Chain A
Amino acid sequence: MRVAARVIVSAPPEAVWSVISDPERMLSFMSGVTRWEVAGDHPIGLGARYRMLFRVGSAEVGGLIEIVEFHAPRDMAWTSVTGLDQRGRWRLRTAGEGRTRVELRLAYGVAGAGLTGWIAERIAAPVVSGHLRRSLQQLKRLVEHEQMRERAAVRRAARAG
């Protein structure tokens, strides 16, 4: 099952990228995520591994994931090593001056689970896609807030100078 969500953030791609590529900030905006820990000694970049879980229905699902594509500030993709089969992607594109189109995609399932797997994936889809939409809204708020505060700081400095 594949779900996706999109949002336009009023900030340059670099500002969004600095948030989504930082494992320590994941829990601050990702909806439904209950755990996001660095596994191994390589916290950011290609080959970085995270142990992550998110709540869907009565279980926390997820497992170990690995970053398999890392092109700052445009694309970051991951795939599962253990746990739920998943492949996800952050896709950042410029949408005019100082604006970024952010897309978050997630394909998930349990290989070999047959009919019950098929049904479960579809029943979970509205919940998962709700989490994605909410995550993007929270990301937008977080990044735009930071942008605002940075601009305010610049104005303050100018006044003081």
Chain B
Amino acid sequence: MAQSGVATGARRNGNVAASDEAISNRKPAPSLLSRVMRGVAEQAQRRIPRADLDERDPDFIRERLPLMWLLASLWYRGEVRGLGNIPDSGPVLLVGNHSGGNMTPDTIVFTLAFNTYFGVERAFYQLAHNLVLSMPALGSLRKFGTVAASPANATKALETGAALLVYPGGDYEVHRPSWQRNRIDFDRRKGFIRLALEQDVPIVPVVSIGGQETALFLTRGERLAHLLALDRLFRLKVLPISLALPWGINVGDMLGHLPLPAKITIETLPAIDLRAEFGPEPDLDEVYDHLIRLMQETLDALAAERRLPVLG
């Protein structure tokens, strides 16, 4: 479930239009392969559900919490600290680092923790990559409150007073190589800061460790993705390659994989009121650097606690 940043949606959508035009100018008679790819891309686009916040279904979530609890407790031995740092009510932007390829164990552990701590009655949405939501098997994610990553959806969710979880690093960060597992990497995406300022909501950093140990992630495959035009067609900047169960070599991670039972630890940091801390007109770069430093320090501390990979 590679989730995506906010601002990149608009930027990349812009790119899609521009590059489509460029392609049609250059290639008047597209090859069969590119026609098929286009067709698949259009199908995928069509499947992306309209953001309907009403699709979140508290009863559905509640009935699935035991399954999530079993997964989080037995498989991942999840531990979530500092949930009390999240304001008890009102809109809040939860900003997390993202790990574990498309299986994203950190999201499972955190969603469970949030829903049991605050109750399923508190509206809680998560932004996800378009492709994730268009997969037929993952339709039920919408009932969990997962909506396609776009500035409009994010704004709408916060306007209703909900808590919103974003992973600015998105597909870029989630597929980073395993040797960069203890590194926060948002790819300089700052849309989430703009969003927090526009909506005047606090940011709560959510730092997790362990996800990148659920498989051996080798490369993001950015060049491969570019060569295959996946970036233009599907908003996919990466075509990751990893060693994962049960596939062995796993290219793309589109069918997911069996994650290793790595221990997941998540730490929620105190809420940051951007204007109180950075003045009435905060500088985006300053806020970004501050947040990254804060999250990186926390991740380093969490990494120092770990004795062994996977076992934690």
Residues of A within 8 A of B (CB): 53, 56-64, 82-84, 110, 112-114, 116-117, 119-121, 123-124
Which residues of B lie under 8 Å from residue A119 when comparing CB positions? 66, 70
Pull 20 A–B residue pairs with CB atoms less than 8 Å apart, ordered by A. A57-B69, A57-B72, A57-B74, A59-B69, A60-B113, A60-B116, A61-B69, A62-B116, A63-B119, A84-B116, A110-B63, A110-B66, A112-B59, A113-B62, A113-B64, A116-B66, A116-B70, A120-B70, A121-B66, A123-B70
Tell me whether B2 is interfacial, beta carbon within 8 Å: no
User: Is B73 interfacial (CB-CB < 8 Å)?
Assistant: yes
Known contacts A63-B119, A120-B70, A123-B70: A58-B63 contact under CB 8 Å: no
- Determine chain A's interface SS by DSSP, over half rule: mixed
Please list the 9 inter-chain residue pairs (A to B) with the smallest Cβ-Cβ separation, ordered nearest first.
A57-B73, A58-B78, A120-B66, A116-B67, A58-B72, A117-B66, A59-B116, A58-B73, A113-B66
Please determine whether B63 and A113 come into contact, CB atoms closer than 8 angstroms: yes
**Chain B, interface residues (CB within 8 Å), range:** 20 to 34
**Bound form: Cα–Cα A120–B72 in Å:** 11
Contacts of A83 in B (CB 8 A): 116, 119
Question: How far is it, in angstroms, between the C-alpha of A63 and the C-alpha of B80 when the chains are bound?
Answer: 17
Does the CB pair B83–A58 fall under 8 Å? no
Contact A123 B74 (CB under 8 A): yes
Contacts known (A83-B119, A116-B70, A123-B70); A59 close to B113, Cβ less than 8 A: yes
Contacts of B74 in A (CB 8 A): 57, 123
For the complex, would chain B's binding face be called helix, strand, loop or mixed by DSSP majority?
A: helix
| Complexed CA–CA distance, A50 and B58 (Å) | 21
**Minimal beta-carbon separation of A22 from chain B (angstroms):** 22
Rounded to whole Å, the gap between the CB of A66 and the closest CB of chain B is 15
Among A58, A61, A82, A83, the one with the most B-chain Cβ atoms within 10 Å of its Cβ is A58
| In the complex, chain B residues whose CB is within 8 Å of the CB of A112 | 59, 62-63
Interface 0/1 of B71-100, CB less than 8 Å to A = 011101111100100000000000000000
- Counted as pairs of residues, one from A and one from B, with CB atoms less than 8 Å apart, the total is 75
The CA-CA distance from A145 to B77 in the complex, in Å, is: 37
In Å, the complex CA distance between A84 and B63 comes to: 10
Q: Which residues of B contact A114 (CB under 8 A)?
A: 63
Q: Which single member of B69, B113, B121 contacts A120 (CB below 8 Å)?
A: B69
The chain B residues found within 8 Å of chain A, CB to CB, are: 59, 62-67, 69-70, 72-74, 76-80, 83, 109, 112-113, 116-117, 119, 121
A4 CA to B203 CA, complexed, in Å: 42
Q: Residues of A contacting B76 with CB < 8 Å?
A: 58
Q: For residue A62, which residues in chain B have a CB less than 8 angstroms away from its CB?
A: 116
Query: Provided the pairs A83-B116, A123-B74 are in contact, do residues A58 and B59 lie with their beta carbons within 8 angstroms?
Result: no
The reply to whether B62 and A110 contact each other, CB–CB distance below 8 Å, is yes
> In the assembled complex, how far is the CB of residue B66 from the closest CB belonging to chain A, in whole angstroms?
4
In the bound complex, CA of A119 to CA of B70 (Å): 8
A82, B115: Cα distance in complex, Å: 12
B residues in contact with A60, CB < 8 Å: 83, 113, 116-117
What is the CB-to-nearest-CB distance from A111 to chain B, in angstroms, rounded to a whole number? 8
Contact check, A113 vs B72: say whether CB atoms are below 8 A apart: no
CA distance A56 to B74 in the complex (A): 11
B8 to nearest A CB, angstroms? 31
Within 8 Å CB of B109, what residues of A? 58
Q: Is the CB of B64 within 8 A of A61?
A: no
Q: Is the CB of B70 within 8 A of A59?
A: no
B62, B67, B73, B121: the one contacting A59 at CB < 8 Å is: B73
